[in-house]
Amino acid sequence: MRTILVLNAKGGCGKSTISTNLASYFAYEMSKKVVLADFDPQESSMAWLEARAEQWPHIEGIAAYKEPLRVPKDTDYLIMDAPARVHGKELTQLMRKAETILFPVLPSPIDMRAAVKYMEELQKTGRVARKEVKIGVIANRVRENTIIFSELYDFIKSMRLPYVATLRDTQNYIRAEERGIGIFEMAPSQVYQDLEDWQPLTKWLRSKRSMP
C-alpha cells in the first residue's frame, strides 16, 4: 500500500483539494482501491465523498480525526488529508504512516513565510531526519506571469526539495468539489490545462523518486 499525506500548517492552501483530486486520480484513472482518510474535523474530504454519486469509482472514506485508521487489507493507496496547525506530538503521530508528503504552498508572502517555518519543523521530525519519508512541494492557485508566482518559484527552488507541480487557480476545482469528483472525472475539453498541471505530480508519485 502506498501512503500519501497532504500536509501544511496553513489552512486554505489546498490540502483537501489535492487530497480529493488525488483520490479521484488513483480510483478513476488508475482503477486502484483508494482510501481517503480525513484528519480534519472540518470534514472537507468526507463532505466531498458524500457528494460523490454512485456512478463514480468507489473511494472509501475514514473520518480519521475521530475514528481509528483501520485501512482494509487490499487497499492500494491511502491518501491522508491533514488539518491545519498540526504540531509537536500530533505531527509525529500523523506522519507515522506517511511514505510521501505533499506540501502545497500558495503564492502569498504570508503563506510563504509560514511555509519556511513549518518546513523547518518538519525537517526536525524523526521520520524526515531519518529519510523515511519523501517531501514534494506543490505551488497551488498559481496565476502565471505574476511577480508573486516567480517569487514562489524561486522560494520553492530554494527549499531544495522536489518541486512536483504547479496547479493553476481555476473554478474547475470548485466545480469538481461540489460534485464529489476530481478534475480527472470531468470533460477533458474543460480541464485539459489542469490535467497537464497534474502530469508531473502523478508521474513523480508513480516513480521511485517519491518513495523513501
Ligand X SMILES: Nc1ncnc2c1ncn2[C@@H]1O[C@H](COP(=O)(O)OP(=O)(O)O)[C@@H](O)[C@H]1O
Residues 21-40 that bind Mg ion (CB under 5 A): 40
Q: Rule CB under 6 A: say whether 22 interacts with ligand X.
A: no
192 Cβ contact partners less than 8 Å away, ≥ 6 residues apart: none
111/42 Cα distance (integer angstroms) = 20
Angle between helices 44-51 and 15-24 (to 10 degrees): 40
CB 50 to ligand X: min, Å: 15
Q: Rule CB under 6 A: say whether 187 interacts with ligand X.
A: no
Size of residue set near ligand X by CB under 6 A: 16
Lookup result for grid cell 492500494: 76
How is 93-152 classified by DSSP, letter by letter?
HHHTT-SEEEEEE-SSHHHHHHHHHHHHHHHHSHHHHTT-SEEEEEEEEE-TT-HHHHHH
Residues 81-110 that bind ligand X (CB under 6 A): none
Q: Rule CB under 6 A: say whether 184 interacts with ligand X.
A: no
From 6, 7, 15, 95, residue interacting with Mg ion (rule: CB under 5 A): 15
Q: Which one of Mg ion, ligand X, none is in contact with 173 (Cβ closer than 5 to 8 A by kind)? A: ligand X
Footprint of ligand X on this chain (CB under 6 A)?
Answer: 11-17, 44, 140-141, 167, 169-170, 173-174, 177
